[in-house]
Amino acid sequence: MSLTSTIALPVTGLTESGITCHQVHYQLTPEELTAQAVQRQEGELNDSGALCINTGEFTGRSPQDKFIVKDIITEDTVNWNQFNIPIGEKYFHQLKAKMLDYLNANDEIWVRDCYACATPAFRLGIRVITESPAASLFAHNMFLRPAEEELEYFKAEWQVIQAPGFKADPAVDGTRQHNFAIISFVHKTILIGGTGYTGEIKKGVFTILNYLLPQFKDILSMHCSANMGKSGDVALFFGLSGTGKTTLSADPSRRLIGDDEHGWNKNHIFNFEGGCYAKCIDLSAEKEPAIFRAIRSGALVENVGFYEGTQEIDFSNRAITENTRVSYPIHYIPGSVEPSIGGVPANVFFLTCDAYGVLPPISRLNEAQAMYQFISGYTARVAGTETGVTAPKATFSACFGAPFLPLHPAAYAEMLGRKMKAHNVNVWLVNTGWTGGPYGTGNRMSLTHTRALITAALNGTLQKGNWEKDPVFNMDIPQSCAGVPQEILNPRSAWADKVAYDEAAAQLAKLFNENFSKYADRVPAEILIEAPLAV
Ligand SMILES: Nc1ncnc2c1ncn2[C@@H]1O[C@H](COP(=O)(O)OP(=O)(O)O)[C@@H](O)[C@H]1O
Ligand SMILES: C=C(OP(=O)(O)O)C(=O)O
């Protein structure tokens, strides 16, 4: 086995993990990985120097093909459902052996050691083994990057093996189809095959942390972004994929802590990751300057198109997917906090992309309403993030992250409830979806307005104004906010057809109630009475 590496260290444990491929590229720099990808014609540079690749058949996650090995650890603890699909241990072993044979038959592979969890006490060493330099660059950008001296003592507790070119045989491998992501807690391994969508790598690691941290470290794991004001006040933005966590946390007046995955320990919050994975559909320097400028050398852009005859990205191009993405290290966002740790949050925002256009652009929640909304996780699956979703699709995604939660949602909700109560946190529901009508009739909420509302909530000016109650959802709605037209604050007044609004609101209230019925026996009465009024 020969090794290319920019650091003069032996890589431990490779042979033990079954890697015998004769050329192993270990811990290469972003420049080296980018150059290799270009040379192998797996990608090209845009005019600002970022590596642009196509991820192939899959440009979004495939939740139906994500499995957890049902074994002695997981059998009685995982909340088996449509997101936590069991697979037998024999299939894990079978597929791992086949994947290793496949990788070892390649001329070269890439190995990268990295960490998850910014707080040193909770750090998890992860080894990411890939068949392409671009996937190794993704791991470099998204996870925490150990310093060279840390590599000497690095312990790869978990392994991610990613081979998009390897395809399972569903007839013998226990999968649904040729692509799969399989997590084994006994063997501390994630196998990803048949798909090149890099999001599977990060969300696979997120899934294991969502299992381990609440159960064994008493840490609440959260699908949220986080940033910090000048006085150190922390805000969290929960939301299912594509609802605005990355966009809204990249706020030039605040410091970014992380864009997607965090833990809440007793007295601080910390990022799991070391980078961001932003959607770049319709990205512009004017609307999202920090993200736009992060697209430069070292960044990895997925599935975009160029203006003809140029290397300039056409961010409006949807030819491959709506789920165009860029990954970059967190320090590409000016002023980001490193290590990515902050104090107890003062404000929590639940971002809901309401495809019905019924919910107010912002509402203030009391404690019980906050729990009701968190458990409900009402939002939309946006186009492209999951395979097969081509238009926003209303969904209830518990804790705003159901596809990544191996435990019952009540486990996370109870922890969040205790923490919010103990720290007197302000909780807001923000509709980043539709206004003036449902998807197809109304408009997507203006980003400028959403930002103005969040700023007013954070600086306290919103609290000082007058409020009214939403008659169906019973939440407080502000009557005014600087920079936001008054008529959109109350969603009913934003709809031209009031009868249609009332019908849509009643329909949504009904859906809320139907969805919540499955939690009724685990939730106290003071939360149950916050259900929207269903007529
Ligand atoms: N009002 C809004 N608030 C937040 N995002 C919006 C809004 N309107 C449009 N968007 C777009 O929605 C997408 C949100 O994606 P992103 O921030 O990456 O989501 P997440 O990090 O939650 O996956 C971005 O492309 C953003 O430009
Ligand atoms: C990457 C994903 O989500 P997010 O946009 O929340 O990072 C995803 O769901 O595949």
CATH of the domain at 259: 3.90.228.20
100 with 30, same domain: the answer is yes
pLDDT of 520 reads 87
Helix then strand then coil, % of the chain, to nearest 5: 30, 25, 45
Is position 240 within any domain? yes
C-alpha 382 to ligand 1 mean position (Å): 10
Which residue's entry shows tokens 């002023």? 335
- What does the alpha-carbon distance between residue 521 and residue 535 come to, in Å, rounded to a whole number? 22
158 with 257, same domain: the answer is no
Q: Is the CB of 61 under 6 A from ligand 2?
A: yes
Strand runs labelled E in 261-340: 262-264, 269-271, 275-279, 300-302, 305-306, 313-314, 325-329
What tokens were used for 263? 């833990």
Is position 533 within any domain? no
Domains in the chain: how many in total? 3
C-alpha 385 to ligand 2 mean position (Å): 7
Task: Judge whether 246 and 277 are in contact, CB under 8 Å.
Answer: yes
Q: Is the CB of 385 under 6 A from ligand 2?
A: yes
Strand runs labelled E in 339-401: 341-342, 345-352, 362-365, 378-381, 393-396
Ligand 1 atom 1: residue of nearest CA: 447
Indicate which atom in ligand 1 lies nearest the CA of residue 244.
17
For the chain, residues with pLDDT lower than 50 are: none
pLDDT of 108 reads 95
Task: Judge whether 184 and 87 are in contact, CB under 8 Å.
Answer: no
Which residue's entry shows tokens 């840490």? 219
pLDDT of 22 reads 86
Instruction: Please state the three-class secondary structure of 245-262 as a single string.
Output: HHHHHCCCCCEEEECCCE
345 with 382, same domain: the answer is yes
- Per the annotation, the verdict on 325 as an active-site residue is yes
What tokens were used for 391? 């238009």
pLDDT of 16 reads 80
361 with 248, same domain: the answer is yes
Is position 201 within any domain? no
Is position 206 within any domain? no
Alpha-carbon distances, residue 454 vs 247, 357, 363 (angstroms): 12, 19, 11
- Per the annotation, the verdict on 48 as an active-site residue is no
Question: C-alpha dihedral over 313, 319, 322, 325, to 10 degrees?
Answer: -40
The domain boundary, picked from 312, 332, 352, lies at 332
- Per the annotation, the verdict on 145 as an active-site residue is no
Q: For a pocket test of ligand 2, which of 277, 321, 379, 382 has the largest count of ligand atoms closer than 8 A to its C-beta?
A: 277
H or E stretch covering 427? strand 426-431
pLDDT of 5 reads 81
Q: Which domain holds residue 294?
A: 276-332
32 with 9, same domain: the answer is yes
DSSP string, 486-516: HHHHSHHHH-S-HHHHHHHHHHHHHHHHHHH
Q: Which of helix, strand or coil describes residue 265?
A: coil
C-alpha 142 to ligand 2 mean position (Å): 12
pLDDT of 10 reads 65
Is position 352 within any domain? yes
Is position 215 within any domain? no
265 with 298, same domain: the answer is no
Is position 327 within any domain? yes
- Per the annotation, the verdict on 34 as an active-site residue is no
The annotation status of 288 as a binding-site residue, yes or no, is yes
251 with 400, same domain: the answer is yes
pTM of model > 0.95: yes
C-alpha 401 to ligand 2 mean position (Å): 10
Which residues is 396 bridged to in the sheet?
A: 378
The domain boundary, picked from 180, 196, 212, lies at 196
pLDDT of 14 reads 81
324 with 364, same domain: the answer is no
